[in-house]
Amino acid sequence: MIASLERGDHANNFCRATGGESVTLDLLKEKTAEFAKERNWDQFHSPRNLLLALVGEVGELSEIFQWRGEVAKGLSDWKEEDKVHLGEELSDVLLYLVRLSDICGIDLGKAALRKVGLNAIKYPAASKGSSEQT
Ligand SMILES: Nc1ccn([C@H]2C[C@H](O)[C@@H](COP(=O)(O)OP(=O)(O)OP(=O)(O)O)O2)c(=O)n1
């Protein structure tokens, strides 16, 4: 438990070290690039390796929900440590996605915003309550 608390403190200090600026995709892109460079891991961060790592983390994320049955929105009945764990696995997925996009030369923020626009055209607000393609 102490080790886990120390780990949390260390991670929180890292967040403060960023100067408390708002978290953007660009910031995460810079942080993940820096993390890889400092460890000489650029050589391992190929598109295929990153994709496999991403899928592996999606598996770890799925395990948290596995066998629980349906989960209430807000996770009000979850233990705090389970919520912290969920945040970690969601983050792993996001960080690998950001890194994969960067390595592939895709501006993820712009691509996602464009996709939101495409989705709105494909599913006009008039089709309220139905997720069927128009
Ligand atoms: N070659 C690597 C290895 C790790 N990471 C970073 C991205 C992820 O955020 C996290 C993944 O680390 P682990 O593979 O240790 O996975 P977990 O943190 O999920 O640990 P575990 O699988 O033991 O639960 O570290 C990375 O960028 N490149």
Predicted confidence pLDDT, tens digits, the chain (134 residues): 445 556 666 676 666 556 667 899 999 999 999 999 999 999 999 999 999 999 999 999 999 999 999 999 999 999 999 999 999 999 999 999 999 999 999 999 999 999 999 999 999 998 667 666 55
Smallest CA-to-CA distance from 109 within 23, 31, 33, 46 is with: 23
Please state, in angstroms and rounded to a whole number, the distance separating the CA atoms of residues 33 and 39: 10
108 CB within 6 A, ligand 1: no
41 CB within 6 A, ligand 1: yes
34 CB within 6 A, ligand 1: no
- The pLDDT, as a whole number, for residue 36 is 98
- The pLDDT, as a whole number, for residue 11 is 74
Amino acid found at 44: F
* Distance of CA 92 from the midpoint of ligand 1 (Å): 7
6 CB within 6 A, ligand 1: no
92 CB within 6 A, ligand 1: yes
Ligand 1, pocket-test mutation among 50, 63, 92, most atoms within 8 A of CB: 92
Task: Determine contact, residues 28/98, Cβ cutoff 8 Å.
Answer: yes
Q: Which CATH number fits domain 18-106: 1.50.10.20, 1.10.287.1080, 3.40.50.2300, 1.20.1740.10?
A: 1.10.287.1080
